[in-house]
Structure 1
Amino acid sequence: MSTIVSAGSTARTERPAPPSTARRAALGRIAADTINVMSRELRPVWHEPASVLFAMVQPLVFLGLFAPLLPDSHGSALQWFVPGIVAMTCLMGASFTGAGLMDEMVTGSHERMLVSPLSRSSLLLGRAFKETVPMLMQTAIILAVATPFSFDLHPVGVLVGVAMLALFSIGVASMSYALGLASDGQPWLFWTVQQTVIFPLLLLAGVLLPLDGGPGWLRWLSDLNPLKYVVQAVRELFAGSWHADVIAQGFAGGLVIAALGLWIGVRGMQRS
């Protein structure tokens, strides 16, 4: 606080806050807004937990009908297949984020959120972070179903693998949110792009079938898929293995998708 004396009177002028203080205040506001948006988005999950179980129908069908077709030796096929199903569930759930946004755009809820005091970045971040909670619940269900059938559970590896998938989920959810904004109330456009992208990503990541014996061009495309490295690392961790290079590649893949997705999503929100 500085004091300026003029014509026998005293006027006080406040110094502007240092840039670092203003930056911390802005980040604190975004963090608080993000938590509020995340809490709002999670209310339907807490009120209707059956929705999480309903989303598990497809993964459990794959687990029950597809896993027995894979070569099995002392439970090795199940040990290989379960992490892939967990990754598939994570990817599919996060990719639906934009569908929820389009529903809010139709009802006008999205426009009301835009004119609220909440920062626009937090509207994206809250929805993206929210996707990690159903993913944790669904992973717990899959492991609870698979463990009695010769699946070796390694809790520490599972926790690290889930953290890696959470990074990937945040990035995919952000991209889905941006796609919902770009679709501008045209569901056919959203679902066409979503389905066109999701299934090649799953197949090229070796989620359902190993790609080791595939043709060279297929393995080359697989090497360009960040999900491949995430799935490989999650399989290692779920099996209780700790190969540093594989785990580092998995976290790198998750971080790349998270950073890219958040950048695309935040830009989309600022322009909406």
Structure 2
Amino acid sequence: MTEQTRTAPPATAHEAPRIVTRTGLGKFFADTGAVFTREILLVLRDPFTLIFSLLQPLIFLGLFGPLLTGTFGGGFGGGSGSVSTADTLQWFVPGVIVMISLFGTSMSGSNLLYEIMTGSYERVLATPLDRSAILVGRALKEFAPLLVQGLIIALVCIPFGFTFHVLPALLGLALLGVFGIGVGALSHSLAQASKNREWLFWGVQQSLLFPLLILSGMMLPLEAGPSWMQAAAKFNPLTYMVDAERALFAGTVADPAVLWGAIAACVTCVVGVAVGIRSTRRAV
């Protein structure tokens, strides 16, 4: 009997390496994480920008707060009796934290505008990154600075009588982060529409920023304003955000204002991200 032998198939001289590529949602999440990491590292390498952005809110608290205490001696929101510094802070601090969110996220498109003007954004678009992930990663970056800044403002005010309810306040900051993602995405869309016309970006941003701020009751109680202003405030999503933050920072989670604030935050986030993704995909 002859012994049967088995021969292996001849190996190829040059075997091509197997390349694993992500597709679909896997690629989207991976690209979003890469963009977010890049953007947040820029903030960590230059923390003075984050610290400097806290100066304006602290000035508002130090100078505007005492004026509110002396001016509205009859109470806020239709209340009665004298108003102490602690009462003023409990009412004013959430509005200042929302102001930080509005200022920071609405101006975030200026960084993108600078990249567009210098040509670096074109190189980003030429990479294999998913264009939707580019927008989402940039928008998510707005959440982390908001959380840090809000906590710092609240902690600074505690020695002056501000009561900090930890869990409701963290929920309020998370809600504000969702809102900030939407506003940041809209700011990026405005930057892409402006392109090399920097004046257009700042003109539109400033024209929208201050009416939204005043009509939200962030700085002064809307109850003291005329009826037309109170009616216009109902169409301002920032109004519901301010009311929700005041309820949460007061420790009241079951307040109906929290639900309306959550709706306003989610709608702003969905609309902003949808508009931002569309503008990013159409960018040349």
- TM-score in same-fold range (> 0.5): yes
With structure 1 as the length reference, what TM-score do the two structures score? Answer: 0.89
Task: Give the counterpart of 1:121 among 124, 127, 132.
Answer: 132
Matches within 5 A, 1:41-80: 41-71=39-69, 72-73=83-84, 75-80=86-91
Matches within 5 A, 1:181-260: 181-260=192-271
Unaligned runs of 5+ in 2: 1-21, 70-82
**Identical-pair percentage:** 45
Cα shift at 1:29 = 1.0
Q: Please give the alpha-carbon distance, in whole angstroms, between the structure 2 residues aligned to 1:74 and 1:37.
A: 43
Q: Please give the alpha-carbon distance, in whole angstroms, between the structure 2 residues aligned to 1:78 and 1:196.
A: 28
Cα shift at 1:136 = 1.1
Query: Which residue number in structure 1 is paired with residue 100 of structure 2?
Result: 89
Q: Is the 8 A contact 1:128 1:170 kept in 2?
A: yes
Cα shift at 1:213 = 2.3
With structure 2 as the length reference, what TM-score do the two structures score? Answer: 0.85
Query: Which residue number in structure 2 is paired with residue 131 of structure 1?
Result: 142
Cα shift at 1:244 = 4.0
Unaligned runs of 5+ in 1: 1-23
Deviating above 3 A after TM superposition, structure 1's stretches of 4 or more consecutive aligned residues are none
Q: Is the 8 A contact 1:97 1:127 kept in 2?
A: no
Matches within 5 A, 1:144-159: 144-159=155-170
Write the letter of the residue equivalent to 2:254: H
Q: Is the 8 A contact 1:35 1:126 kept in 2?
A: yes
In our comparison, the structure showing a higher alpha carbon Rg is 2
Cα shift at 1:25 = 4.3
Q: Please give the alpha-carbon distance, in whole angstroms, between the structure 1 residues aligned to 2:101 and 2:178.
A: 10
Write the letter of the residue equivalent to 1:70: L
Write the letter of the residue equivalent to 1:82: V
Task: Give the counterpart of 1:269 among 271, 276, 280.
Answer: 280
Q: Please give the alpha-carbon distance, in whole angstroms, between the structure 1 residues aligned to 2:54 and 2:93.
A: 13
Q: Please give the alpha-carbon distance, in whole angstroms, between the structure 2 residues aligned to 1:64 and 1:38.
A: 34
Write the letter of the residue equivalent to 1:41: E
Q: Please give the alpha-carbon distance, in whole angstroms, between the structure 1 residues aligned to 2:93 and 2:34.
A: 34
CA offsets per residue over residues 210-238 of structure 1, 9 Å max, x none?
10121111001100001111110110000
The number of residue pairs the alignment matches comes to 249
CA offsets per residue over residues 101-128 of structure 1, 9 Å max, x none?
0111122110000010101011111110
SS of structure 2 residue aligned to 1:181: helix
Cα shift at 1:73 = 2.4
Query: Which residue number in structure 1 is paired with residue 79 of structure 2?
Result: none
Q: Please give the alpha-carbon distance, in whole angstroms, between the structure 1 residues aligned to 2:111 and 2:187.
A: 10
SS of structure 1 residue aligned to 2:24: helix
Cα shift at 1:202 = 0.8
Q: Is the 8 A contact 1:160 1:237 kept in 2?
A: yes
Q: Please give the alpha-carbon distance, in whole angstroms, between the structure 1 residues aligned to 2:140 and 2:41.
A: 14
Write the letter of the residue equivalent to 1:81: F
Q: Is the 8 A contact 1:30 1:122 kept in 2?
A: yes
RMSD: 1.2
Query: Which residue number in structure 2 is paired with residue 14 of structure 1?
Result: none
Cα shift at 1:270 = 1.1
SS of structure 1 residue aligned to 2:127: coil
Cα shift at 1:74 = 5.8
Q: Is the 8 A contact 1:41 1:127 kept in 2?
A: yes
